[in-house]
Amino acid sequence: MNLSPCQLTHPGLVSDTVEILERAGLAPASLCLEVTESALIGADDDLLKPLRRLAEMGVDIALDDFGTGYSNLANLRRLPVSILKLDRAFTQGMQHFPADPVDLKIIEGIVSLAHSLDLAVTVEGVETGAQADQLRELGCDTAQGWYYARPGPPDRLHELALADAT
């Protein structure tokens, strides 16, 4: 679930999240909150405190659009993230054969860095089976994109979940 910069500053972020999880009967580990890298640029401890509390409860915090804009590797040390979401800009060069070797090396390096910090890597923008296979070989943990499912209405999520369970 995406969090906007405005939602990050909402005083009830933690309590509302806990209430919703309890009402839905879900464990905190079943929730992943995505925050864009740009929303956390220059974030002070007060802004990060609610995210840290949620992470301590077991909620996954994903740093979305990693590698674009104002990437600062020093941020990885202080942000309570467990997942890096690699921006689709890096997978675009993999849509054609042969894949862009520079993109492959960048992805490989980011995956290596993330894993050494005990962070999972999700890559965005996967559109072909060949991309999915190559990203898996590079060590990416999960992927998103049209190859897996096109955007759709919320009812479609229920159908996909049922199909996946069988």
Burial status of residue 54 (CB atoms within 10 A of its CB: 0-12, 13-18, 19 or more): buried
Contact 28, 14 (CB under 8 A): no
Section 128-144 average pLDDT: 93
pLDDT greater at residue 157 or residue 128:
128
How far, in Å, CA of 24 to CA of 26, rounded? 5
What is the pLDDT of the chain when averaged over all its residues?
88
pLDDT computed for residue 54 by the predictor: 97
User: pLDDT, tens digit, for every residue of 65-119?
Assistant: 887 766 667 777 788 999 999 988 888 877 777 778 888 898 999 999 999 999 9
How far, in Å, CA of 146 to CA of 67, rounded? 21
Beta partners for residue 143, in sequence order: 123
Contact 117, 73 (CB under 8 A): no
Contact 37, 68 (CB under 8 A): yes
Cα dihedral 159, 160, 165, 166 sign: positive
How far, in Å, CA of 67 to CA of 81, rounded? 15
Of 85, 30, 86, the C-alpha closest to 62 is: 85
pLDDT computed for residue 69 by the predictor: 67
Amino acid found at 43: A
* pLDDT exceeds 80 at position 156: no
**SS3 assignment, position 31:** coil
Q: Catalytic residue, from 19, 56, 124, 159: name it.
A: 124
pLDDT computed for residue 84 by the predictor: 94
* Pair of tokens at residue 41: 């640029």
Section 17-41 average pLDDT: 92
Cis peptide leading into residue 98 (ω within 30°) = yes
For residues 154, 160, 161, 165, the Cα torsion angle rounded to the nearest 10 degrees is: 170
Q: Is 159 a catalytic residue?
A: no
* Class level of CATH domain 2-165: alpha beta
Cα end-to-end span (Å), the chain: 25
Its pTM stands at: 0.84
